[in-house]
Chains A and B, each alone.
Chain A
Amino acid sequence: MKPAPFRYVAPRSVDETLALLAEHGAEGKILAGGQSLVPLLNMRLARPQVIVDINGIRSLAYIRRKDDRLHMGALTRQRAVEESATVRRQVPLLWEAIRFVGHPQIRTRGTVGGSLAHADPSAELPAVVAALDAELVVRSPSGERALSPGEFFAGYLTTALEPTEVLTEIRFPVLPERTGTAFVEVARRHGDFALVGVAAVVRRRDGTIAEARLAFTGVGPGPVRVREAEGRLAGSAGTPRVFADAAREAGARLDPEGDIHATAQYRREVAAVLTRRALELAWQRSGGRTR
């Protein structure tokens, strides 16, 4: 399984990258961690003419707090996220989810931006980004734009990125106090893509859910938010009955597809189960008591 011929270039800056992408357009493909792209190259399922290797652009890997957001360079290695006490404290949902991404050897090279740009429908990070309403910063020759997850994820393995654009930064909101998050997933083996996964955020006010977010992976072409369920949760008490109702609602609203690993019905049912579990966890972590 050897890749088709291509030419290779390793720019040293984002500007250079953009210039190269402008030059080579649709024939060019960015190579970041390579853990998703190179298998496709080896299997000849992807055959770009030009590979633009951005791994040498050190300025694209950083983790910086700015106001109420954690700014993360797109080239930040998943392993760095896993080992970052800052991320663990400030964006625990990301930290929790990253440990489901593949295996340590994959996370050594895999990048946060790469996983998002690849947009696998069963990947963990898109659900995290969707649940947090993180901003995805995209640079093009004409400037910079910040996209919401809804704007960024455009379908099965598709994002809003033009061939001439680069995802440079992800801005994760640092959630206020009394907010709990949880990422749970079901996979056939540890480290596999999720059959179903859910990222949950619960902001608490005393015994009530002030706001809730539910973002799913494995149930659609991209990450899926179930806003109806979120709406119902807001203002409700943090009780098992409420979580169960939300779970039922989510299960009813989702419309997953089946494949050789799991049927649509399975994904829908398990999505409901995981919704309940994630909400319970997130509620507990928000400081809420469970009866």
Chain B
Amino acid sequence: MNGDPAHTTPAQAPARVPARRKRRLREPQSALTIRFTVNGETVERTVEVRKTLADFLREDLGLTGTHLGCEHGVCGACTVLLNGEPVRSCLLFAVQAAGAGIETVESLAPGEGLHPVQAAFREHHGLQCGFCTPGFLMSAVALLRDHAEPTEEQILETLGGHLCRCTGYQGIVEAVRAAARTWQR
């Protein structure tokens, strides 16, 4: 869920308010300045309101690890975490992330080495072309953070929200099962 929208300056001047209104009516804007955190860092940008969160992350912040596969919410490649929960960033506008905490795949292994979930994907051949992978990783991370011992059903339910065209899914399932065991969290 969104926190209070941390909108600051609207990019156009608000309209003059007729005297008969009880309170000032917020004026719809074409661009807004927004502030939120991405991978732990505060970000403040002015952005066109129709720009999706996915495009914002990729273009404005250069975080190209989040990929676009369909732009209609089905494939899951664009999945990021918003306040710890997996969401389709192609179905969110950047302005909607105001005040929230966003995590992308780049946050998992900020230095050298791999996050335990990433390591499990590597060990169990849970990726081939890698395009869908960041989305899977974020969903898997969210699942494993919430569940110390996820059931098979929970794993399949989470992974069911993502399309992969390369692996046939088996390596991915095995990777998540393994990560549930190996990731100390």
Interface, chain A (partner B; CB < 8 A): 1-12, 16, 19-20, 23-24, 34-35, 38-39, 41-43, 50-53, 55-56, 58, 61, 77, 79, 102-106, 108-109, 190-191
Contact = CB atoms under 8 A, between A and B. Distances in A.
Contacts, number: 116
B126 interface: no
Interface stretch (B38-46, B91-99, B106-114): B91-99
Given A38-B93, A190-B160, 10 more contacts: A9-B28, A39-B71, A42-B91, A55-B1, A103-B158, A104-B161, A105-B161, A106-B73, A108-B82, A109-B91
B4 A56 contact: yes
Interface residues of B, number: 39
B1 A42 contact: no
A16 B96 contact: no
B15 to A, nearest CB: 10
Interface string B1-13: 1101101000000
Contacts of B2: 55-56
Contacts of A50: 28
Contacts of A2: 50, 52, 55
B165 interface: no
B28 A38 contact: no
Contacts of B180: none
Contacts of B160: 103, 190-191
Nearest to B49: A8
Given A58-B1, A190-B160, A6 B50 contact: yes
Contact of B28 (A8, A41, A77): A8
A104 B85 CA distance: 9
Name which of B5, B21, B76, B82 has the most chain A CB atoms within 10 A of its CB: B5
Contact of B91 (A10, A16, A38): A38
Interface string B71-104: 1110010010010011110111101100000000
